Chains A and B, each alone.
Chain A
C-alpha cells in the first residue's frame, strides 16, 4: 500500500534487510517469534533488530530507543505495548508516542471475508484508512478546575488533506470505486466540518472515484446490517478506532486482520486491532494469522513479493482449505499447529527452505 513515490527502504546491507522488531506485551512476543520462525524457515532475507520496550517504566527512554531504531531501519514490525492504568496520567501511551513521533499518519486496514471462516456477514471487502496522529489522540489534557477535565481534539487542515489524499490515491491504485468519509460534523461542526471539507476538496481532483460521507453512528448501524455497501472508508482517529474494530469483528475477529501504519519516511506493521491479549498470552492458543499477514505486508513493502505471496498463500490454504482454526474462530488448533501447517505448505511448494 505504499505510495508510488516512496523511496526504497534504506537498511539493506549485503542484500539483507534489517527490520526493527518490538515484541511488546501479552501475545506480542510469542506471535513475533512465530513470524521469525516462519521467515527463517522460508529463507527470507530479513534480519530483525529486537528492541524491548518495558511498559512498567515511567521514563520514555525505552520507547525513544525504539523510535531511533525505526528511524535507522525505516521499517518495523511490532506487538502492542500495554498502557498500565496504575501509572499517572503523565505517562502517555507508548504506541501513540511511537506513531506521532514517526509521523505515521495513515493507518491502513483491509478487511476481507475469508471463505474458510464462518461469520454472520459474507462478501465483505472494506479498506479503512484512518488518520493516525491527531484528532482525539492528541494527548492534550488538563484539569483547570478540580473535578473538571478538558481533553482537546485537534483537527488540522494539513493532516486532513494529507490523509484524504492518501485515501484517494490508494483507492485509485487498487481500482476501488467509492470513498466514504466518516464524521460527526452535525455536532462537531468546526472540527469534523474541516475534515469533511478537506475530503471534498481532494475528491474533486479524483472524478473517477465516487465520494460520499456518512455520520459515524449511522455508519456503525449500516456496518452491522449491510457491510457489503462499503468500499473505502476514510476518517479521523477515534472513529477509525471504532470502525476498524467493528469491521475486524465482522470478518472474524482480532486474530485475522493485519494493519499497517505508513508515514512519509517510515512504515510500521502490526495487527489491525492492536490488542495486547494478556488473558491468552503464553497459552499457545493465540491466532498467529494477523501477525503473520502483517509480516507479509511488510515483505511486500520491502519489495520481497515472492516471499510475501508464498507465505500468504500458505496461510490462506491453512485457513480455508485445511480449516485449521484456533479457538478465537471456533476451532481447536493451537498456535504452533497453525504455524507448522504454514511451514509445511511452504515446503511442499518446492521453494528453498531451512531445516524443519
Chain B
C-alpha cells in the first residue's frame, strides 16, 4: 500500500477530484416557488464558476396524494434525496386552500428533519446596529409546542399541547454538542423555561445535562429564555451555540437573523435522522418580484456554503463565501434589499468573477 506506484495513483485520484470530472457529488436541488428558480440558477452559476464538484438533480416537491389518500412528496423527489442525502431548497409557498399541509412540514416529516441549524454571523459590509455577531441556534424541529395537537375543551377554552420527549431532547442535545465539536465552537447553552414549565423543560434540560457529561471539551451552560432575549439584544457576542426546543428556537433564530440583517441574508440547514440534510433559504417566495431579476440570492448561497461545509468541501465553501462577502462589502452591485439597485444577474456575475479571481 505504501509503494510509490500506489501513492502516485492516490495523488492522481486526488488531483482528479480537484479538477473537473472527478469525485462529483450529487445534490438534490429544489428550486421552489416565486423567486426560487432564479436564485437557484444564480447559485448554480456561482458553483460552476467555482468549479465545485457538485452535480445538481432538480426536483419538484409539490405534494401529491399517494395510495391510501395520504399526502406525500412525489416519489422521484424522495428517491433522489434518499440517494444523494443532501438537498438545497428554495422558498416554498404554503397554499391556503389546496387541501394539503405545508410543504415544509411534509418534508420535515418525510425525512425526520429533527435539527434546524442557523448560523448567524455578522456580514461585514451589510451594516446593522449589531456587529460581531457569531452564534449558532440549534432548534429541535419535530415536537415541542408545534406538535399541532389542539382541542376545544368547552366553547371558549382552547388547549394546545406541548410535547417534550426524552428521545427527541437527547437527540437534539447530542447533535448540538457534535456540531460544537466539529465546528470548533467553545460552548453550548441550553435555553429553557424550566422555572415555569417544570416538567417539560425540566426534562429537556436534564437530557442536555446528561449529554454534556460526554462532551467535557465543550462548555455547557443553561439560561432562561427571557434572560437570553434580554442579553441577546444588549450583547450578542456572549453567545456561541444555543440549543432549545421548538418554539423558543423559532423565536430566537428569527431574532438572531434580525440581528445580522434579516431573512434575506441568513442561511439555514435541517438535519435528518438518516444522514439526510436539507439546506434552505428561509425567506418567503416574494411573488411581487418573482421573475424580474431583482431577487437577492445571498440567503440561498450562504445555505449552499453551509452545505459544502457539511459535505467536507471547506475550501470551496470558504472561497464562495469570501467572494460573496467581498461583493457585499464593495457595495457596487447590491440588490435592492441590500441597499443598491443592481439586478440579481449582475450581483451573481460579480460573485462569479471574484470566485474565479480567487483561484
Contacts and interface: CB of A to CB of B under 8 A. Distances in A.
Interface of A: 83, 85, 89-93, 96, 120-121, 136-137, 139, 141-143, 146-158, 184, 187-191, 194, 216-218, 220-225, 238-239, 241-242, 244-246, 248-250, 253-254, 273-275
A150 B150 contact: no
B289 to A, nearest CB: 19
Contacts of A239: 251
B12 interface: no
A154 B258 contact: no
A253 B229 CA distance: 11
A220 B231 contact: no
B200 A141 contact: yes
B230 interface: yes
Nearest to B144: A151
Nearest to A247: B233
Given A187-B146, A225-B128, A249 B233 contact: yes
Interface residues of B, number: 54
Contacts of B257: 221
Interface of B: 128-130, 145-146, 148, 150-152, 155-167, 193-200, 202-203, 205, 225-227, 229-234, 247, 250-255, 257-259, 262-263
Name, among B165, B226, B255, the residue most crowded by chain A CB atoms within 10 Å (CB to CB).
Answer: B226
Given A83-B195, A156-B157, A191-B158, A149 B146 contact: no
CB-based closest 10 A-B pairs: A157-B156, A221-B258, A249-B233, A147-B166, A217-B254, A89-B198, A83-B195, A120-B129, A141-B199, A151-B200
Contact of A149 (B150, B157, B164): B164
Secondary structure dominating the interface of A: mixed
A132 to B, nearest CB: 12
Contacts, number: 171
B149 to A, nearest CB: 9
B205 to A, nearest CB: 8
Given A188-B145, A221-B254, A253-B230, A156 B197 contact: no
A225 B264 CA distance: 14
A248 B196 contact: no
A225 B162 contact: no
Contact of B160 (A83, A147, A191): A191
A187 B226 CA distance: 22
Given A83-B195, A148-B166, A154-B157, A190 B150 contact: yes
Contacts of A90: 198
